Structure 1
């Protein structure tokens, strides 16, 4: 067999950068899709204005020509969805990027002889893979292609950043990590992070959409025809309303919260096996609980206190910010028993 001189880990790194390149192409395609949606919104509004002028001459009864998508339209079967060409190209490229991404993750695991999530580089490699995978799986149920530019942009920044800043050679596992809980605890934490990422993206769009709806209402126009008033990116007119985005973000947050609760419990069990105690106020343990508390507060406040709209969105955004802070800052700069970043 021809010896290429490349180790499995080296091939994994090449596949990582190949995945980043494909995600970049997907990001461009999704961005073009949003731009074309903006153009469609403008043309529809102009067409509606023309119909009003040549009709009764009274504009109070027009809807503005581009009806916003209803919440139930998110659950339309893939074969019945609007056939946005560039969105379909972006989705196909995202799936192709995920193939390279999975191959990179698998080869890293084979090279290490264990599951590939024992340090920050490997956790980022697996975590970003799950974000892309969850996004593509969710597309079978909900038409969230408008999130494509966010998801692929996240892949580019996090995966590329991890490859540049967090990459380390394969090394043997530390003794506390030689446990079945490494497979269970860390994987579920990665999966919950992926679900929280989608909830975060929807919450950001919710804030943008709520602002647009507020400005159009203040201008005395319908939500789909804001006239000359600046209400934000025009593609927002083709997306569901703020309430629909909030409702879906809440559903994702609940799923992520359930997974994160399991992460917290599994981590406590693992800590007892490794260090002889379930809880020791280690920095990582504390921040895992802080994140759990933030999302528990978000779910409780929205369900029982009526915290909806902007306040609800900000709680979701703060929760995901804490997740990223826990992965980056806590892992690198805080001392504790969870010193498995792999960085010197």
Structure 2
């Protein structure tokens, strides 16, 4: 039942996004008798559907909680679906504060991509490992995710501001640099979406490749020993494990062996799989971005620019700032203070320079700098928008790159 509710929520979010798009485009159409009324009507339809989707999403969350016997935020599938729900909640809160329908055109795709990304991970209910068997799991993860959700809304507002105010017709060096920045942001979103599509495609084809390789591990006494470890690929192996042996591989594209081995300096049996995933995501992102550019026949930022016609730039700037101002103290509590208290209970220390801890601190420092520059130095407009966009890209690297690429004490969340 929980999976069905999540699927319903995903579909309703997509329809709500379509409602916001119809409202914005119709509001600017000369063929509509009263564009303002038309836009408001479809805006109300969009937010109504968004709330309906959120209720279905909350139903998924609580039914899975009942199935699992613990709060469903203990692995990547559960955490990313929860983050998607929090992004939608943050959008709903900000929408009712500012009544901005165009925000839905930029914020809802972020939530949809996050939920789709979650769906590539194993969905089975898993028992909690000892380190997670604490009431701090509820407190730390939920507050950290809520803070990141408001950062996501700030990112959407920042991207809106840049799409509206970057001059895509200007050929000067400064303007071209801004144009490339907007396109890189949209390309990054295309890479994440391409990763999701690639996983679903090859899973649907029943693709699988299994390799065996020797890995150097340290035992409890810190003595190194070599063990044999199996690694399963769900994407065709452009890069296989270093000095690995093929145990099973579904033939595809004429490949019966990996095209290349992972470099020897990349340690661990999963190093080749992680490199392979990154390469496939980049290839897929380039293809997807190229197709979208071909359809639009112009830079994607320039194609989105007409959506922002008539929207007050100062309102967008204010939405971005307020979203981050709300999210920052919540993130501070969840990702730093509560996390350190839990770390002391679980591992006997408040701080240990684990990669996830380090990147959470980097995110916190970045947004601290954002607020300082905004409030003390008057960084508003484009400079503030760029910071909000870059900040959320750092958040996404913390969630995706650190969990899935860099090994650490939080690696269990990538299973």
1:258 aligns with 2:294: no
1:232 deviates by: 6.6
Q: Which runs of 5+ in 1 are unaligned?
A: 1-10, 45-65, 70-80, 216-229
Q: Which residue of 2 aligns with 1:121?
A: 77
| d(CA) in 1 for partners of 2:125, 2:118 | 15
Q: Which residue of 2 aligns with 1:153?
A: 109
Contact 2:95 2:103 in 1 (8 A): no
What value does the CA root-mean-square deviation take over the aligned residues?
2.6
1:216-253 Cα distance to aligned partner (Å, 9 max, x none): xxxxxxxxxxxxxx997333233112x33222211211
Contact 2:158 2:388 in 1 (8 A): yes
Contact 1:282 1:337 in 2 (8 A): yes
Aligned partner of 2:46 among 67, 83, 90: 90
Aligned partner of 2:23 among 8, 29, 33: 33
| d(CA) in 2 for partners of 1:34, 1:291 | 33
| d(CA) in 2 for partners of 1:256, 1:181 | 20
Q: Which residue of 1 aligns with 2:368?
A: 296
Aligned to 1:159, what secondary structure does the other structure show?
A: helix
Aligned partner of 1:334 among 395, 406, 412: 406
1:299 deviates by: 0.8
Aligned length: 283
Q: Pick closer, same or farther for the CA change 1:231–1:321 going to 2, 3 Å.
A: closer
| d(CA) in 2 for partners of 1:231, 1:162 | 28
1:342 deviates by: 5.0
| d(CA) in 1 for partners of 2:107, 2:316 | 16
Contact 1:295 1:319 in 2 (8 A): yes
| d(CA) in 2 for partners of 1:293, 1:274 | 25
Q: Which runs of 5+ in 2 are unaligned?
A: 171-301
TM-score, length-scaled by structure 2: 0.63
Aligned partner of 2:4 among 11, 14, 30: 14
Q: Pick closer, same or farther for the CA change 1:125–1:141 going to 2, 3 Å.
A: same
Higher relative contact order (CA 8 A, sep 6+): 1
Structure with more strand by fraction: 2
TM-score, length-scaled by structure 1: 0.76
Q: Which residue of 2 aligns with 1:24?
A: 14
Structure with more helix by fraction: 1
Q: Pick closer, same or farther for the CA change 1:88–1:244 going to 2, 3 Å.
A: closer
Q: Pick closer, same or farther for the CA change 1:140–1:244 going to 2, 3 Å.
A: closer
| d(CA) in 2 for partners of 1:274, 1:319 | 29
1:143 deviates by: 0.7
1:32 deviates by: 1.1
Q: Which residue of 1 aligns with 2:163?
A: 208
Aligned partner of 1:184 among 139, 142, 153: 139
